[in-house]
Amino acid sequence: MGESYDAVVIGAGPNGLAAAITLAQAGRSVLVREANATVGGSCRSAELTLPGFIHDICSTVQALALASPFLRGQPLAEHGLELVHPQASFAHPQDDGHAGVAYRSVDQTAETLGRDGVAWKKLFGPLVRDWEKLAPALLGPLPPAPKHPFALANFGLKALRSARSLAEGWFEGEHAKGLFAGVAAHSIAPLEWTGTSAFGLVLGTSAHAGGWPVARGGSQKLADALVSILRSLGGRIETQARVDNIDELPPSKVILCDVTARQLAKLAGHKLPARYTKRLQSFRYGPGVHKVDWALSEPIPWKAAGCRDAGTIHLGGTFDELSSAERDPWEGRFAEKPYVLLVQYPFEPSRAPAGKHTAWAYCHVPHGGDLDVTDRIERQVERFAPGFKDTIIARSVMTPSEMERHNANLIGGDITGGANMFSQILARPVLGLNPYKTPLKGLYLCSSSTPPGGGVHGMCGHNAARIALRNELK
Ligand SMILES: Cc1cc2nc3c(=O)[nH]c(=O)nc-3n(C[C@H](O)[C@H](O)[C@H](O)COP(=O)(O)OP(=O)(O)OC[C@H]3O[C@@H](n4cnc5c(N)ncnc54)[C@H](O)[C@@H]3O)c2cc1C
């Protein structure tokens, strides 16, 4: 049977690598088996369009990496990672040619929001002040440890509602409502759903507290740094080593699976209690994404000057427009005017040949929906940046099916390991105090189908590995 290990990890995404590093740092022997030829899962980069143009195939903004207690504790810079910050984290233009802009400074942000500036400061000021207490609690296992009850209660009162009720309760004008809607729509859920305000508050606060940087040279550098740390600790990684059944693995005391809930049912359903397997199979996935990467001849010609300062631009106009666009994919429709999440890199010139640029954008589409909506995405960019289409030298397009071919965890194009409905934020993948541990001794789930969910933070893997260490690898 060959070698045996303390732990085998299936999947080398950020969470699988975080789990493996956590175990290796505790002195345990670890093997990671990755299906793809390259490591990183949804944290990889490639020359998708033309030679010399580096694109992040999936994740690009490393706001959660900065907030993550696990990643903050790793010597990532020593292993090649450099984070580069745009002047502003995100911007949201309206048709009047002006944009609300989220700068690191809450005051500077408020200046872009007219009469709602004071309300933005009142909403985000206390959260930014408490961020160092909030981030570890919100990224840990649920329910959060009550170490800072006042900070958590203040957050909870604002977070346990819909993005619409929060925006309408706090703001009067479209610029502030739109700026909040754009960041809350990272939830990939209708903005009227309870809990969508939490996405806007967490990501909005991270924009002020730490910023929204990207990795110099591409997100792959973050995955490569994690691999380098793991190897320095003696951990082993095998690529092009897809696992179809947990029985194929070499002997180990624990197995940690960086796959989503339904994939776990396929890998281990024959050994898990039928009731648990059924719950994994009924775990719900959300809309897919349709993604476009561009090689550009020049920076995007935004009408609103503030958009030139930001890394991320949320396109779609008013709160009501975004709300309608985000409801469509849940009801099986492709939005005519989608909410578009765009990232540009004029502040990070290493991604393109001298004088040239890259940009990345996606919109949400029905689960598994493969209609080509590239034109709808480009029309939304053109709406706020006339002349944009003339700057395109080349493009790469990925539909939900292509996303899933690139990474088996992107079921139907769902990028967060399962839908972010309130019930699945609390019960991820099933309701219980220890969602990482399955009923089968030694088998753990460590992907974004566990708390705290999607994003490059590694906390699902780190949390799962800590529990495995405590329970079975003492
Ligand atoms: C288009 C897109 C944009 C995103 N943008 C951002 C962003 O800007 N910022 C951010 O923080 N997050 C972003 N995300 C989300 C973030 O990338 C994910 O939440 C994160 O990568 C999840 O990490 P993970 O380790 O759980 O899973 P993954 O990154 O999906 O990794 C899972 C790994 O497991 C492997 N695997 C699956 N099945 C098997 C098997 N049977 N055998 C062996 N290996 C297997 C896969 O090949 C993959 O390498 C984005 C995601 C996508 C898709």
Residue type present at position 360: W
The verdict on the CB of residue 400 being under 6 Å from ligand 1 is no
CA atoms within 13 A on the CB side of 415: 26
The verdict on the CB of residue 19 being under 6 Å from ligand 1 is no
Return per-residue pLDDT of the chain as tens, 474 residues: 479 999 999 999 999 999 999 999 999 999 999 999 999 999 999 999 999 999 999 999 999 999 999 999 999 999 999 999 999 999 999 999 999 999 999 999 999 999 999 999 999 999 999 999 999 888 876 666 667 888 888 888 888 899 999 999 999 999 999 999 999 999 999 999 999 999 999 999 999 999 999 999 999 999 999 999 999 999 999 999 999 999 999 999 999 999 999 999 999 999 999 999 999 999 999 999 999 999 999 999 999 999 999 999 999 999 999 999 999 999 999 999 999 999 999 999 999 999 999 999 999 999 999 999 999 999 999 999 999 999 999 999 999 999 999 999 999 999 999 999 888 888 889 888 889 999 999 999 999 999 999 999 999 999 999 999 999 998
**Residue 338: exposed, middle, or buried by beta-carbon count in 10 A (0-12, 13-18, 19+)?**
buried
The verdict on the CB of residue 68 being under 6 Å from ligand 1 is no
Indicate which atom in ligand 1 lies nearest the CA of residue 456. 11
Structure tokens at 19: 């789990």
The verdict on the CB of residue 292 being under 6 Å from ligand 1 is no
Q: Which of 138, 42, 141 is nearest to 465 (CA)?
A: 141
CATH superfamily of the domain spanning 5-82+215-283+414-472: FAD/NAD(P)-binding domain (3.50.50.60)
Mutate to test the pocket of ligand 1, among 59, 255, 342, 396 (most ligand atoms within 8 A of CB): 59
The verdict on the CB of residue 317 being under 6 Å from ligand 1 is no
The verdict on the CB of residue 410 being under 6 Å from ligand 1 is yes
Ligand 1 centre and the CA of 43: distance in Å? 6
Indicate which atom in ligand 1 lies nearest the CA of residue 39. 49
Indicate which atom in ligand 1 lies nearest the CA of residue 61. 8
Q: What is the pLDDT of residue 430?
A: 87
- Helix pair angle (131-139, 149-159), 10° resolution: 70
Report which DSSP code applies to 305: G
Mutate to test the pocket of ligand 1, among 42, 248, 342, 377 (most ligand atoms within 8 A of CB): 42
**Residue 257: exposed, middle, or buried by beta-carbon count in 10 A (0-12, 13-18, 19+)?**
buried
Q: What is the pLDDT of residue 142?
A: 62
| Domain limits, CATH 3.90.660, in the chain | 86-211+286-406
Task: Please tell me the distance from the alpha carbon of residue 346 to that of residue 353, in angstroms, as a whole number.
Answer: 12
Are the CB atoms for 315 and 381 separated by under 8 Å? yes
Are the CB atoms for 131 and 441 separated by under 8 Å? no
The verdict on the CB of residue 409 being under 6 Å from ligand 1 is yes
Residue type present at position 393: I
CA atoms within 13 A on the CB side of 469: 18
Please state, as a whole number, how many other Cβ atoms lie within 10 Å of the Cβ of residue 297.
13
Indicate which residue's Cα is closest to atom 50 of ligand 1: 59
The SS3 of residue 284 is coil
Structure tokens at 31: 């093997």
Indicate which residue's Cα is closest to atom 18 of ligand 1: 455
Residue type present at position 16: G
The verdict on the CB of residue 14 being under 6 Å from ligand 1 is yes
This prediction's pTM: 0.96
Q: What is the pLDDT of residue 425?
A: 81
Are the CB atoms for 19 and 462 separated by under 8 Å? yes
Structure tokens at 100: 């609300």
What is the Cα gyration radius of the chain? 21
Given phi > 0 = left and psi -120 to 50 = alpha, else beta, which region is 127? alpha
Return the sign of the alpha-carbon dihedral for residues 176, 418, 405, 14.
positive
| Domain limits, CATH 3.50.50.60, in the chain | 5-82+215-283+414-472
Statement: 86-211+286-406 belongs to CATH 3.90.660: yes
Q: Which of 410, 299, 316 is nearest to 355 (CA)?
A: 299
The verdict on the CB of residue 358 being under 6 Å from ligand 1 is no
182: which residues sit within 8 A by CB, 6+ positions away?
A: 90, 92, 314, 316, 322, 339, 341
Cis status, amide bond into 353, omega within 30 of 0: no
Ligand 1 centre and the CA of 59: distance in Å? 8
For residue 36, what are the CA distances in angstroms to 41, 42, 248, 368, 417? 8, 11, 17, 21, 18
Are the CB atoms for 355 and 299 separated by under 8 Å? no
Ligand 1 centre and the CA of 456: distance in Å? 8
Ligand 1 centre and the CA of 148: distance in Å? 31
For residue 412, what are the CA distances in angstroms to 41, 146, 265, 442, 446? 16, 37, 17, 29, 20
Residue with token string 């994939």: 263
Are the CB atoms for 43 and 217 separated by under 8 Å? no
DSSP letters, 173-218, are SHHHHHHHHHHHGGG-S-TTSTTHHHHHHHHHHHHHHT---EETT-
The verdict on the CB of residue 415 being under 6 Å from ligand 1 is yes
Ligand 1 centre and the CA of 408: distance in Å? 9
